[in-house]
Amino acid sequence: MRTPSRRLASVVATLLAASIGAGLLVGSAAASGQVGVASSSYDDEIADARKEQAQTKQDLDDLESQLEDTDAAIVEANRKLQALEDRLPGLREELDLAQERYDSAVLEQQIVADKLEAAQAQDEALTEQIAKDNDRIGSIRDAIAIIARDSYTGEELTSLGVVFGAQSSDEFVEDYAARDAAARVQANALAEMEQIAAVNRNRETRQEAVREEIERLKLEADRLVAETEAARQVAEEKKAEVEDALAEQRELQAYLESQRASYLAQQERLESQQRAVRNELRDLLAKKAAEEAAASATPVGRGVMNFPTKVPYITSSYGMRYHPIYHYWRLHAGTDFRAYCGTPIYAAADGKVLWASWRAGFGNQVMLDHGTYAGDTLASSYNHLTRYAVSTGQTVLQGDLLGYSGNTGSSVACHLHFEVYVNGSTVDPMTILGPIP
């Protein structure tokens, strides 16, 4: 018996329960939030929730049917791969967002750094200009001092002193012009010195503002350095997470591919064993039909059999099934009925137990011979039972207890796999069974 993927069933069942709960909560919220809403609207919401519940359950049943005969390790690897592939787009988005934040932080940090550099350069230029103009003021002061010393030689002069002290009119004019020129130069120098001092006071005010801006930019730069480093670490973590996920994805894909040939070979062996069981049945029925002198005149058709469970609920019908992992088609040669572990299973029609034994793939199987109908032999099998209530050679009547449902053989969950054979070949059981009660 192959170990079933109970983790798969648990995960899907959890999702099912969450889906059902969400649907019912929606209906409840709508009813409580809208006083006076017509009861038909409330009934529609309940009907929609139940329909969603039934569809989700059917999806689970279909998945279990599709994965029947599949090794649990392969099912688990595929589950992980699907979960990973569902996660990857979100991880890539998180990585892109983290990278964008890092790039934005780097850009903002560069802008602040450029502003800081410009402010520091402006501060240095102002310092240099202030120093240069202070030197100019010093030079002007020295020049004024020289002019004052040369002009007055430390004595107080008057206009008459200038006139009467001259030796000639030419000397008077020359001396007066020199003194007037010196006075104008001195006045101009004083004006220039005052102008330079005023400009420097403005520069010092600007420099004070620039230095305050420099301090603010330094604090902002420090903050951005920390933010950029944090953004870089987040981006690296997201990148590592994506790389790990991609590596795991490649590993799971490689594992599934490595198991493909082995799985398909195993399936071929299993199907060969199941064909052998059906061929054995065909031979027995053909021999029996040839030995019987009389046969029922009733042809094999709908209503000849009853359902093998008291509350029949079909989880998977007869027909071709597509394997969701290895992508190939195969025949599902019976009808699956929901039958939780230990559910009683009953004979669909009168017959004789050809065998009650373990058979490859089918697990614990009860095979019933129902005789000949208008020349056609009819048989049915009840598979994956946990235990028997009949034994080989026993005659049973329609509705007699045959055994209890289980999870033996190539099964992923407790259920009843029911097959019907006409002349030893499987047919759709729904063409033989009566209407669902």
Residues 84 and 131 in one domain: no
Residues 366 and 406 in one domain: yes
What is the sign of the dihedral through the CA atoms of 199, 200, 202 and 203? positive
Q: State the CB neighbour count (10 A cutoff) for residue 259.
A: 19
Report, in angstroms and rounded to the nearest whole number, the Rg of the chain calculated over CA atoms. Answer: 50
Residues 203 and 238 in one domain: yes
The per-type count for the chain, helices as H runs and strands as E runs, is 5, 12
Residue type, 94: E
- The structural domain count of the chain equals 3
Picking from 227, 256, 291, the residue at the C-terminal end of a domain is: 291
Which CATH number do you get for residue 385?
A: 2.70.70.10
pLDDT at 280: 85
Q: CA 385 to CA 404: how far, in whole Å?
A: 6
Closest-CA residue to 57 (of 402, 297, 315): 315
Domain assignment present for 337: yes
Q: CA 35 to CA 30: how far, in whole Å?
A: 9
Residues 286 and 141 in one domain: yes
Residues 357 and 379 in one domain: yes
Q: SS in 3 state form for 254-285?
A: HHHHHHHHHHHHHHHHHHHHHHHHHHHHHHHH
Specify whether the CB–CB gap between 302 and 420 falls below 8 A.
no
Domain assignment present for 371: yes
Domain assignment present for 238: yes
Residues 67 and 33 in one domain: yes
Picking from 260, 291, 322, the residue at the C-terminal end of a domain is: 291
Quick one: tokens of 365?
Answer: 């199987």
Domain assignment present for 156: yes
Quick one: tokens of 392?
Answer: 């080989």
Domain assignment present for 421: yes
What per-residue string of b and e applies to 117-126 under the rule 16 or more CB within 10 Å gives b?
Answer: eebbebbeeb
Which segments of 41-157 are extended strands (E)?
none
Residues 110 and 247 in one domain: yes
Residues 283 and 250 in one domain: yes
Mean per-residue pLDDT pooled into runs of 10, the chain (437 residues): 41 39 38 48 71 62 56 74 85 89 89 91 92 88 80 50 57 69 80 87 90 90 88 89 88 79 72 81 76 67 92 92 74 93 97 94 94 90 97 96 94 92 94 85
- Which of helix, strand or coil describes residue 342? coil
Domain assignment present for 436: no
Residues 413 and 303 in one domain: yes
Picking from 259, 291, 323, the residue at the C-terminal end of a domain is: 291
Q: CA 56 to CA 283: how far, in whole Å?
A: 42
Residues 124 and 22 in one domain: no
Q: CA 101 to CA 228: how far, in whole Å?
A: 8
Residues 32 and 172 in one domain: no
pLDDT at 436: 75
Domain assignment present for 1: no
Q: How does DSSP assign 331-349, residue by residue?
A: EE-SEEE---TT-EEE-SS
Q: What are phi and psi of 7, to 5 degrees?
A: -65, -40
Q: Which residue range forms the structural domain that includes residue 136?
A: 100-291
- For residues 164, 169, 172, 175, the Cα torsion angle rounded to the nearest 10 degrees is -150
Residues 145 and 255 in one domain: yes
Domain assignment present for 245: yes
* pTM given for the model: 0.49
Q: CA 166 to CA 151: how far, in whole Å?
A: 15
Specify whether the CB–CB gap between 407 and 387 falls below 8 A.
no
